[in-house]
Amino acid sequence: MGLRYEGTHTGTYGLRLPKVDYFDVWNELKGFWSSSGNTWNYQSYTEMYDDVYRAIKAVRPDALVGGPYAPVGAGTASGTAHPSSIRGGFGVVDQRALDIITYWLQHKDGAQFVSMAGGPVASAESPFASGQYFVAVTDWLRGLNNQTYRGAGTLPIIWAEFYPGLASTAGVATGHEAVAIDMSTAIQAGVAGVRYMLLWEMEGDASGASPTTGEGVWTDTAKPLGGRPTALYVALADLNHYFPPSTTLYCAIATGPISALAAGHAVLLVSQSQSPLTVLVN
For residue range 240-265, list pLDDT tens digits in order.
Answer: 999 998 899 998 888 889 989 999 99
The region, left, alpha or beta by phi > 0 then psi within -120 to 50, assigned to residue 31 is left
- Contact (Cβ atoms closer than 8 angstroms) between residue 154 and residue 112: no
Residues 191-242 pLDDT 10s: 999 999 999 999 999 999 999 999 999 999 999 999 999 999 999 999 999 9
Strands (E), the chain: 22-24, 33-34, 39-40, 64-71, 74-75, 83-88, 91-94, 113-118, 157-162, 167-168, 171-172, 194-199, 209-210, 214-215, 249-250, 258-263, 267-271
Among candidate residues 238, 266, 264, the one with its CA nearest the CA of residue 179: 238
* Residues whose CB is less than 8 angstroms from the CB of residue 81 and which lie 6 or more positions away in sequence, other chains included: 38, 94, 96
pLDDT given at position 207: 94
| Local structure of 56: helix, strand or coil | helix
The domains of the chain, with CATH numbers, are: 22-200 (3.20.20.80), 248-282 (no CATH)
What SS3 string covers 78-122? CCCCCEEEEEECCEEEEHHHHHHHHHHHHHCCCCCEEEEEECCCC
Q: Residue range 107-127: average pLDDT?
A: 92
Query: pTM for the full model?
Result: 0.93
Give the integer Cα–Cα distance in Å for 104 and 43.
8
Residues 135-171 pLDDT 10s: 999 999 999 999 999 999 999 999 999 999 998 877 8
Give the integer Cα–Cα distance in Å for 53 and 24.
10
pLDDT given at position 123: 77
Q: Using 50, 70 and 90 to split pLDDT, how confident is the model at 1?
A: low
pLDDT given at position 12: 82
pLDDT given at position 240: 94
